[in-house]
Chains A and B, each alone.
Chain A
Amino acid sequence: MKTEKGTILRQECIAKDTYRMVITTTQSADMNPGQFVNLAIANVMLRRPISICSIDKDSFTIIYKVVGKGTALLSRMYAGECIDVFGPLGNGYVIEEREQEVLLIGGGAGVPPLYELAKRYLRCGAHVDVVLGFHDEPSIFYEQEFRDLGCEVYVATMDGSYAHQGTVLDAIDQEGIKTSFICACGPLPMLKALEQRYTKGYFSLEARMACGMGACMACIAKDAREADMYHRICKEGPVFAIGKVVLV
């Protein structure tokens, strides 16, 4: 964990409002799937927490969706420019090496951290099914990239413009996927629906953060079992075991 000036190696639009950026780093050895970086962006006050999508020797990749002013400004940066990166931050996915069947479930902007995770599980020899949910066909990204890694990939679109119509759960049902160990990242309604069915695995949460390092107490999740017990999403998370925290 430190701040450093990275150089943007690539910046490209890969789907509707969705960008991929590759940034140089000296921190790759410390980066794990599910962790994030807090990026300083000119003309907005606070840093923006963005999950790490892929980790290479001297660089890492993020995929982010333009949802507001900060990400819009980020999308207007160019290859060759410097960007102030604070990270890696938080606790990523625990790799459960005993799991031979792993189901990765991503919704929209929650898909990126699952990519590096898929690589890790494949390296462990696990069979990896990936279910990706998007709003519509133009929003889809990384279907082929996951397939190229060696995963079985299924896609659901809410408007039915591509593959299964409906949610990721609809796709799981229609494909008859029975895997019980899941790792998921995506919008809250998706995680809440998954929590009703799955008990084994991990969720990655999104939150409004300030410091990103556990000091300011802005991004708090309540413990699901113990009253008055809380967890900092940026520090103890953003990845939590299913059922560990209250999803709100």
Chain B
Amino acid sequence: MSEISVDLHMDLPGLHLKNPIIPASGCFGFGREFAQLYDLSRLGGIAIKSATPKSRFGNEVPRVAECESGMLNAIGLQNPGVDQIIETQLPWLAQFDTEIIANVAGASEEDYVEVIQKLNDQEVVKAFELNISCPNVKHGGIGLGTQPELAAKVTKMCKAVAKKPVWVKLSPNVTDIVAIAQAVEEGGADGLVMINTLMGMRLDLKSGKPILANITGGLSGPAIKPVGLRMVYQCAQKVSIPIIGVGGITSGEDVLEYLYAGASAVEVGMYNFVDPYCCIRIIDELAEVLKKYGLPSVKDAVGRSLRV
């Protein structure tokens, strides 16, 4: 069945998504490699690789370690810096009919503000995604995302300068994610993206040492899907801003679960490494799965678990 009679469309702050599937930041680069495999215009949107004020090399290698049902990464926000991204990546991305979300990162609140100010007038960027949840950088990143006051503060500062909607990507490495979600909402966030990776580690049996040069890394993949679902479900009941669900999505069924839990769209991360065509497959599967469960649109699935 290729003829799709279900409505995959979703309108969110800054984002008019033709379908709710968005490759997650850090797992898709700037799309150039995947553009050799399929037309990026088929995607609802793309969350591009984090931008910081200056270029960052990131962590030493090894930067990845495999796990039973996922992987650890400690890339360390390697990116060419916001100016370079504006110069070389955004003009190229403009050719695609898909919504570009700029993931913004930094070592201080001022860094976030600086990146946003530089990206404000870039027409191709439709929304910002504040990365206050990267577990692999020493300052900023997760430091801002684990305390409600700090999370609210950076959100407020970014909102004050941003000319586009601001989404905030939350860390699961907290005692009470609802408190962070509420703080960020009060700070003026237009939406939440959750969850970033769970902090973990692995050790080498021969050397007895951690496999990752950074010692710890962020766990992603199917292993974290139940955690992501639980957190989306908890937050969806306590905030009124929309949520983009992330964590362990590999199929249309997984997307439907996130929609039921309260997400309005999803990001797909590490599975792009396993099946480089997975986002396209998941879009097709989602249409089938919605049909199977008698749901005429994505909107009908959003928050279904909260209505029962």
CA distance A212 to B275 in the complex (A): 11
CA distance A208 to B272 in the complex (A): 17
Q: From B36, B60, B68, B273, give the contact of A210 (CB < 8 A).
A: B273
Nearest-CB residue, chain B, relative to A233? B61
B55 interface residue (CB < 8 Å to A): yes
A151 → chain B, closest Cβ, in Å? 34
Q: What 0/1 pattern do residues 1 to 41 of A give for CB contact below 8 A with B?
A: 11100000000000000000000000000000000000010
CA distance A209 to B60 in the complex (A): 14
Chain A neighbourhood of B66, CB < 8 A:
44-46
Interface residues of B, CB < 8 Å — how many? 36
Query: Which secondary structure characterizes the binding site on chain A?
Result: loop
Chain A neighbourhood of B70, CB < 8 A:
45
Pair count A-B, CB < 8 A:
91
Q: When A46-B274, A47-B273 are in contact, do A217 and B33 touch as well, CB less than 8 Å?
A: no
Chain B neighbourhood of A216, CB < 8 A:
26-27, 29, 64, 73, 75, 273
A82 interface residue (CB < 8 Å to B): no
B62 interface residue (CB < 8 Å to A): yes
Chain A neighbourhood of B61, CB < 8 A:
207-208, 218-220, 248
A148 interface residue (CB < 8 Å to B): no
In the complex, the answer to whether A235 meets B33 with C-beta atoms within 8 Å is: yes
A211 interface residue (CB < 8 Å to B): yes
B58 interface residue (CB < 8 Å to A): yes
Chain B neighbourhood of A46, CB < 8 A:
64, 66, 71, 273-274
In the complex, the answer to whether B58 meets A217 with C-beta atoms within 8 Å is: yes
A230 interface residue (CB < 8 Å to B): yes
In the complex, the answer to whether A208 meets B58 with C-beta atoms within 8 Å is: no
Q: Which residues does B use to contact A, with CB under 8 Å?
A: 26-29, 32-34, 36-37, 49, 55, 57-58, 60-71, 73, 75, 78, 221, 270, 272-277
20 residue pairs bridging A and B, Cβ less than 8 Å apart? A3-B276, A45-B66, A86-B276, A208-B63, A208-B64, A210-B73, A211-B276, A213-B33, A213-B276, A215-B27, A215-B33, A216-B27, A217-B49, A217-B63, A217-B75, A219-B63, A228-B55, A228-B57, A230-B78, A248-B61
Closest 9 A/B residue pairs (Cβ):
A215-B29, A211-B273, A218-B64, A210-B273, A213-B33, A217-B78, A215-B33, A218-B63, A214-B33
